[in-house]
Structure 1
């Protein structure tokens, strides 16, 4: 069993919006309606990471901004090309 560090707790709401390139294929399903989106290696998207104050900071995923139809991509499936906007979780 591995000891893992506890994730930091955000002191403020935070977000990161970036242009990313998919580096490994990934099929994602939105919650409502349940629609599958196929992210393919080499494609580029503008995606976000975000979190709320008082919650653990998790940067292990990327998603679109529309939460109703969001498709989530694991962080290890993308490479960041350009950070567009950043508000850190430290306030």
Structure 2
């Protein structure tokens, strides 16, 4: 699929962008090259290729599930305007 300069100028007009004729021609050429690459990729036979979640078969490094921070609930709730039983009290917004 090829994009020509008139297509770019029409899109620029619809988007309310000002673009010079030279820039429109250059943009049309660049977009046409990208679309040619997409056409090449779509032509590749991928019937026997299994889908992957990630292109690299790398394992995710996991850290141990241990507590690394101290409990600061009391000191943080001391700054709150209202708390009860370890919970923050907020004004009701829905009746």
TM-score for the superposition, normalised by structure 2:
0.19
Bigger helix share: 2
TM-score for the superposition, normalised by structure 1:
0.20
Structure showing greater radius of gyration is 2
Higher RCO structure, 1 or 2 (CA under 8 Å, sep 6+) = 1
Bigger strand share: 1
